Amino acid sequence: MKFASLVRDLALIRAPERQAELSRLSHARLARLPEATIVTVVRGWFELKADGHSDADILREIEGRRQKEYGEESLPGDLTLESYARYRLRLEHPGEEKAHDAIFVMQAVHRASQVIGGTYREDTEGATARGARPGAMAVLAYAVLIALIQGVFGLVAAFGSRATPVSPAAALLVAAVALLLLLGAIGYAGGTVWGRPVLLAGLWGELAVLAVAEAKVAMGAPGFSGSLVPVLIPAAGAVAALLYLRRRHREFHSPPPR
């Protein structure tokens, strides 16, 4: 929904009898309405959310800008998206008392969040409208390394003529896990719906493969190095990726502040 259309929608919540008048207002005049301030506040909030900022980060950013933009006017004690919108309305539109009404602001912020939130919070934890998140790119880089090292080893061990310490079936499984991990990381960074579940399956599969390799090393199985470093490094990467996915999932699906 375009800016002017959303401002009109919010203005109709406050004054439904003004529908004919609002339909004739120019973009410039709509931009001077209190509802335009609400749209600006909500859009800024979701832009920051889309860039990976948590609610706490956004509130700190607002506090940091307060003195520069509004002097000594203190912020609300219970700072939320709604209370911040009312704060801005009182300062920027002091003569519009009806626009300061708590119920109106709650309804307007909710409506704007539905529209704007749908633009910035599509089914993607790993990507925004501007591209993949830095964390998702780090997971993708890890998956590429695993695919290049473990995937190639598995395919060579399965189809090569030289003897290897693993059976062809096990080697194929190792390669399949690496490729599954890479596919999931690509999907996640691309913002697809299927990316996260495939990536999770790949990461847990990778940890299972590494656990078997660690056991082989511990038992001194033929063909396995006596050092655990080649196993522990990729395992640490998989664990770090799982922790990142868990944090992003919780942040992305947390309800908007009320």
Q: Bigger pLDDT: 64 or 234? A: 234
Q: State how far the Cα of 209 lies from the Cα of 223, in Å rounded to an integer.
A: 16
Maximum average pLDDT range among 21-30, 74-83, 225-234: 21-30
Partner residues linked to 132 by β-bridges: 127
Contacts of 22 (CB under 8 A, 6+ apart): 8, 11, 12, 30
Q: State how far the Cα of 70 lies from the Cα of 117, in Å rounded to an integer.
A: 27
Integer-rounded Cα radius of gyration of the chain: 26
Q: Bigger pLDDT: 120 or 109? A: 109
Percent of the chain topping pLDDT 90: 24
Tokens of 177: 């896990």
| Average pLDDT value for the chain | 81
Residue written as token pair 């913002």: 191
Whether residue 97 has pLDDT greater than 80: yes
Task: Tell me the per-residue pLDDT of 11-49, one tens digit each, with 9 for 90 and over.
Answer: 898 888 888 888 888 888 888 899 999 999 888 888 777
pLDDT-based confidence at 205, cuts 50/70/90? very high
Task: Tell me the per-residue pLDDT of 140-195, one tens digit each, with 9 for 90 and over.
Answer: 999 999 999 888 888 887 777 665 667 788 888 999 999 999 999 999 888 787 88
Q: State how far the Cα of 237 lies from the Cα of 123, in Å rounded to an integer.
A: 25
- How far, in whole angstroms, is CA 62 from its chain's centroid? 20
- How far, in whole angstroms, is CA 127 from its chain's centroid? 6
For residue 219, how many C-alpha atoms fall within 13 Å in the half-sphere facing its CB? 9
Whether residue 122 has pLDDT greater than 50: no
Return the exposure string of 130-147: e unless at least 16 CB atoms fall within 10 Å of the residue's CB, then b. eebbebbebbbebbbebb
Q: What is the pLDDT of residue 115?
A: 81
Task: Tell me the per-residue pLDDT of 109-119, one tens digit each, with 9 for 90 and over.
Answer: 988 888 887 65
Domain ranges of the chain: 3-120, 127-252
* Residue whose C-alpha is closest to residue 126's, from 35, 254, 248: 248
Own/partner pairs for 19-23, CB < 8 Å, 24+ apart? Answer: none
